[in-house]
Amino acid sequence: MSQKTNSELTIKRSDYVKISSLVPAAAEDVQEFLELELDRASIVEDDVFPNDVVAMESVVRYLTLESNKESEVRLVYPGAPTSSINQVSVLAPVGAALIGLRVGQSLKWPTPQGEMREIRVLSVRPAETV
């Protein structure tokens, strides 16, 4: 269903635990996608998690390759308080696609309309620096 390029998926241990508990609340197509991604993720302890990998609360700038459109979003849990930065839930299709990607890494993922899109992470600002 998804195809990563330029290496594997890396997820912070605390994010993995919380996202795993939220998967049943996601839409069916996102549930399946997130389960596959979590199953193959490398889990890294929070205190040694690399700053160039998308984690929860990160501000991520990414490129949608089909449209050549750049977007910047903060990756949040459902129900997070609104901020001045565009937010996307980890349970939304693009949020599920972003979690665990490293700067320069790309991912093909299915949209709710059944189309395949590809995104590439351009930059990540970790939560503690936003």
pTM exceeding 0.85: yes
Q: What is the pLDDT of residues 33-70, one digit of tens each?
A: 889 889 989 999 999 999 999 999 999 999 999 999 99
Confidence class of residue 97 from pLDDT cuts 50, 70 and 90? very high
Average pLDDT taken over every residue of the chain: 88
Q: Which domains does the chain have, with CATH numbers?
A: 3-129 (3.10.50.30)
Residue 36 burial (10 A CB sphere; 0-12, 13-18, 19+): middle
